[in-house]
Amino acid sequence: MKLLVGLGNPGKNYSQTYHNIGFMAIDHLAASLLDDDKGKHKFSGDFWQGRLNNHSFGLFKPMTFMNLSGVAVAKALNFFTCELNQLLVVHDDLDLPFGKIRYRQNGGHGGHNGLRDIISHLKGGDFQRLKIGIGRAGNLAPAKQVLSPIHPEHRVSLAPLLDMTNDLLSDFIEDRTLQVPPVFT
């Protein structure tokens, strides 16, 4: 089984912020692949389970706040006895322009506290990541920017960006090579 995790922060105050783009990607995928787009509360998060063309998958949104995501992800991964290479984490990335998507098979945290906590709890970074660029906004401090609402200029291209992400996540579920476009905006 593949486990796809979207990172974000729980609560209405954070729902439309840049830091929650991982949550948005998982919600969008759940709505397109499953009859029930409301996850069950398991493993300290929202969880869905399904099949896509005979491939089993789980979708997961840790509800432990971004910087404490590792505990919840470790619980879900251990329950399903998934190998690390069957885990894909979807998250925001300040260092990529808004709308650029980057796929990595493994690596470090790159300053992302959610990834830092996951790597700490899983004792390594040998899991896959789908990074969704949110770009840097001028002189705004990173912590302030990621928690700010998505700018109307970016909101216009959010739906097509999430559609592209759906295609990539479906490819991951079905063991197809992820063909990430060079820039999507």
pLDDT tens digit string along 57-94? 999 999 999 999 999 999 999 998 889 999 999 999 99
pLDDT digits (tens, 9 = 90+) for 119-155: 999 999 999 999 999 998 778 898 999 999 999 999 9
Encode pLDDT of 39-59 as tens digits.
788 899 999 999 999 999 999
Q: What is the pTM of this model?
A: 0.94
Structural domains in the chain, sorted by start: 2-173 (3.40.50.1470)
**What is the end-to-end Cα distance of the chain in Å, rounded?**
32
**The CA-based dihedral angle spanning residues 52, 185, 25, 167, taken in that order and rounded to the nearest 10 degrees:** 0
> Does residue 185 surpass a pLDDT of 60?
no
SS3 (DSSP) at 62: strand
SS3 content of the chain, % helix, strand, coil (to 5): 40, 25, 40
Lowest-confidence segment of 104-118, 153-167, 171-185 by average pLDDT: 171-185
Is 146 within 8 Å of 92 (Cβ atoms)?
Answer: yes
Are the C-beta atoms of residues 28 and 22 closer than 8 Å to each other?
no
- Which residue carries 């999430």 as its tokens? 162
With 0-12 / 13-18 / 19 or more C-beta atoms within 10 angstroms meaning exposed / middle / buried, residue 50 is: middle
Catalytic residues, by residue number, are 19
Predicted confidence (pLDDT) at residue 38 exceeds the cutoff of 90: no
